[in-house]
Amino acid sequence: MARLNDLSHGRLDAPRLDPREIVIREGFNYRDTNTEASLKHIAWLKESIRERGVEEPIRVEYKGGTVFVVNGECRVKALRQLWDEGVEVYVPAIVAKGDEAEILAKSMIANGALPPTPLEFGQAASRLLAYGWSPEKVAEYTPPHIRGSKAKAVQYVKDAVELHEAPLGVKKQVKGRRRRGGDYPGLGAPRYPKEPPPCRAGNRLCSLSGESEGPEGRQEAKVARKGR
């Protein structure tokens, strides 16, 4: 009978690092790790790692003798909290390959992480467009649950970028009306009102937040459609 190693098509050789020595660059991560959903995710990761260790390697960039986290910031933060409590757990790390744009794009669809919100995706997509990528190329890195067709994915990219470039007040309204948080074991389920107030940020921006536009938003959408 063949051994398991004989069936291997490659080997994962990941060094285990001290999370306190991994640098989190300010402004590098397009995700907001201070939202209710992210904080609950970090708390869940902390308890999961406490019980089972780190099961998913993080992606890092090694430059000038310094290790920078590329994908896995929530895991690094959860691990740091454990170290503060005296629980010393090291994290397996893999060096991310590609240029800055490729590394960013891959992080947008990395498994083992929370899917980006429309606001977060819009920020990342805007950076990719600034690198010279086309909306069609960015669309290849839309989350799997969004990527129904190429046309739909491209439109999602354009809408998310529009949301990212919208006035701060609009972004705050859309962000505030999104349903935050996930159901993580032992942390309780989030409580939502049965009928949330309608979003008045306007047509497609409201649709990105997953909510009803309300009468004002619907009227704006009608006007916009007539003008096309």
CATH number of the CATH domain containing 77 = 3.90.1530.30
Percentage of the residues of the chain whose pLDDT score is greater than 70:
67
Mean pLDDT, the chain, integer: 75
Domain that holds residue 36: 14-96
Percentage of the residues of the chain whose pLDDT score is greater than 90:
32
Bigger pLDDT: 143 vs 42: 42
Has residue 20 been placed in a domain?
A: yes
Distance CA 124, CA 108 (A): 8
Token code pair at residue 31:
């995700």
What was the pLDDT predicted at 66?
94
Has residue 216 been placed in a domain?
A: no
**Digit-coded pLDDT (tens) for 72-127:** 999 999 999 999 999 999 999 999 888 888 888 888 877 566 778 888 889 899 99
Bigger pLDDT: 77 vs 185: 77
Has residue 135 been placed in a domain?
A: no
Has residue 55 been placed in a domain?
A: yes
Q: CA nearest 174: which of 132, 195, 203, 148?
A: 203
What was the pLDDT predicted at 132?
94
Counting the structural domains of the chain, the total is 1
Has residue 88 been placed in a domain?
A: yes
Query: What pTM does this model have?
Result: 0.62
Has residue 155 been placed in a domain?
A: no
- How would you class 199 by CB atoms within 10 Å of its CB: exposed for 0-12, middle for 13-18, buried for 19 or more? buried
Has residue 64 been placed in a domain?
A: yes
Token code pair at residue 168:
């701060």
